[in-house]
Each structure stands twice: as C-alpha cells, then as structure tokens.
C-alpha cells in the first residue's frame, strides 16, 4: 500500500504552531507534538524521534534546534521536488 498523501498545509501549520510553543517554553508543545506525530513522522522520519525525546524531557531549546533542522531539510526537499 502506498502511504497516504501528505497534507502540506496541515504539516506547515503544525510546524509553525509547534515552533511557536517551543520558543515560549509552553508545555502545550507536548500535546501538539503527540497529536501531530503521525504527520510529522511521515515527512521528517528519524528527526521526529529526536524531537520527541527532547519534548518529552521538556528540553524545549534542544527540541527547537531539531525542529528547525527538520524544517530546513524539508524546505530543501520541497524545492528539489518542484524543479
């Protein structure tokens, strides 16, 4: 079976909201991560495991670094796909 299509607008929204919460050290990041994990895992793979570990440990600065790495990788992949 092929994986379901990626809902890019939902993914972007989840990443934006998660980044905003992590910047503010808001524990709502834990809930949002749990809810968004299947979509994030579909696109970002192993980086999501690292992100999840940091979030579960409330190490939001480290989680923010991983999230930004994942976004940069994702942006490069999207640009490569569109050429």
pLDDT tens-place string over residues 12-49: 899 999 999 999 999 999 999 999 998 888 877 788 89
pLDDT tens digits, 43-67: 777 888 999 999 999 999 999 999 9
Alpha-carbon distance of 9 to 11, in angstroms, equals 5
- Count the neighbouring beta carbons within 10 Å of the beta carbon of residue 65: 15
**How many CA atoms lie less than 13 Å away from 52 in the CB half-sphere?**
14
Alpha-carbon distance of 60 to 39, in angstroms, equals 20
Structure confidence at residue 8 (pLDDT): 77
Q: Phi-psi bin for 25: left (phi > 0), alpha (psi -120 to 50), beta?
A: left
Structure confidence at residue 41 (pLDDT): 85
Structure confidence at residue 22 (pLDDT): 98
Structure confidence at residue 64 (pLDDT): 97
């Amino acid at each position: 079976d092929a994986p379901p299509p990626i809902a890019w607008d939902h993914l972007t929204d989840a990443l934006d909201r998660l980044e905003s919460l992590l910047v503010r050290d808001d524990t709502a990041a834990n809930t949002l991560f749990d809810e968004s994990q299947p979509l994030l895992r579909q696109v970002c793979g192993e980086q999501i495991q690292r992100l999840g570990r940091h979030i579960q440990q409330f190490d939001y600065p480290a989680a923010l670094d991983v999230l930004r790495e994942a976004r940069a990788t994702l942006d490069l992949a999207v640009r490569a796909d569109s050429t």
